[in-house]
Amino acid sequence: MKPPGASASGEDDLIARYFRPLATDLGAFGLVDDAAILKSTGDDLVVTTDAIVEGVHFLPNDPPDTIARKALRVNLSDVAAKGASPAGFVLTLALREAKDEWLAPFAKALGEDAMSFQCPLLGGDTVSTAGPVMISVTAFGRVPAGKMVKRSGTKPGDKIAVTGTIGDAALGLRLLKGNLKSAGLDDAAYGSLVQRYRVPQPRNAIAMVLRNHASAAMDISDGLAGDLIKLCAASGISATVVASSIPLSDAARGLLDAGQVDFEDIVAGGDDYEILCAIPENRWESFARDAARAGVAVTCIGSVVAGGEVPVFVTRDGKPIVLKRLSYSHF
């Protein structure tokens, strides 16, 4: 029994203490209602949902602040890829136990990201589980009506581009799991790969650039190779990617050159949360210029070609590279 006037359950206390401060939007009603409101603005509302699971998308010993950021950012990455501006999110938290030392840094980091990405917490649900911790986020974005950047819409001749560098997160995970020797990596390189796995950098800074220039876009979550197949399939086209043009971090380049990792580790590992997009050739220059202004590195890695074959990775002199695996799959 609680004293009179106290809330009825530990769950409510938990929400009030840790999550109410994050519910800064008027439509969240301070999390005391059963639902939130997203006001109509005339824009289309983009809706996306992605969950992260302990042992799959993050490791049991990952710091709670990085887990919080990853849970939100994998969704912000989808919002960015669709050319939308973040509008808010709801959170489902399945926990084995409610420990202050885990919840306090989790909620603090989530609040910081919600603030910096202008994506306020609108509501949520907290449930107990006997299994792995799971955090499911549904995020909302706004785009002018009809202007969402789709997966489909690219045509032969379009250039294929990615943001940032590819493969780092997958290598970071292998380092954390002990499946990759860190010999040859200095502390900074090791730290940067691990950080790329734990805290993705969603590319919301170029959402409007994508809306203005991209014929199709998606974020890379399951590996460049597998996600490129999806991008191509959505438009019924194929693509040729020059393997050596794929942007790599110095750390990843070093490991690849030393033979410590293979090409598949880079392109089929997943967790990149970079943008994969197609840009009509006549828009490439303005796309690259606008992306640079937004502070996001973009690299052309190949081009869209006609045909229904799976996209081909080729060497600098055009020889196809046969991939032993394509992407991460849950089942």
Q: In what order do the strands lie in the sheet with 312-314?
A: 216-220, 274-279, 159-163, 298-305, 238-242, 312-314, 320-321
Query: What residue has token string 């887990």?
Result: 67
Q: Does 49 bind its own copies (CB under 8 A)?
A: yes
Residues 61-100, one symbol each (x = binds its own copies by CB under 8 A, - = not), give -----------------xx-xx-x-----xxx-xx-xx--
Q: Does 326 bind its own copies (CB under 8 A)?
A: yes
Q: Does 11 bind its own copies (CB under 8 A)?
A: yes
Tell which one of 17, 21, 24, 38 touches its own copies (CB under 8 A): 38
Q: Does 162 bind its own copies (CB under 8 A)?
A: no
Q: Does 262 bind its own copies (CB under 8 A)?
A: no
Q: What tokens does 243 get?
A: 């393997």
Contact between 173 and 47 (Cβ < 8 Å): no
Q: Does 24 bind its own copies (CB under 8 A)?
A: no
Tell which one of 130, 259, 282, 295 touches its own copies (CB under 8 A): 130
Shortest Å, Cβ 145 to its own copies: 7
105 vs 132, beta carbon nearer its own copies: 132
Interacting stretch for its own copies, rule CB under 8 A, among 53-61, 62-70, 176-184, 200-208?
A: 53-61
Give the SS3 label for residue 228.
Answer: helix
**C-alpha distances in angstroms, 311 versus 71, 103, 302?**
30, 44, 10
Q: Does 114 bind its own copies (CB under 8 A)?
A: no
Total of residues contacting its own copies (CB under 8 A): 91
Buried/exposed code over 270-308 (b: 16+ C-beta within 10 A; e: otherwise): bbbbbbbbbbbeebbeebbebbeeeebebbbbbbbbeee
Q: Supply the angle between the helices 250-257 and 187-198 in degrees, to the nearest 10.
A: 110
Interacting stretch for its own copies, rule CB under 8 A, among 113-121, 185-193, 230-238, 313-321?
A: 230-238
DSSP class of residue 307 equals S
Taking CB under 8 A as the criterion, which residues in 210-229 touch its own copies? 218-219, 222, 225-227, 229
Q: Does 17 bind its own copies (CB under 8 A)?
A: no
53 vs 208, beta carbon nearer its own copies: 53
Q: Please name the residues in contact with 326: beta carbons below 8 A apart, sequence gap of 6 or more.
A: 223, 225, 226, 229, 268
Give the Cβ contact number of residue 215 at 10 Å: 20
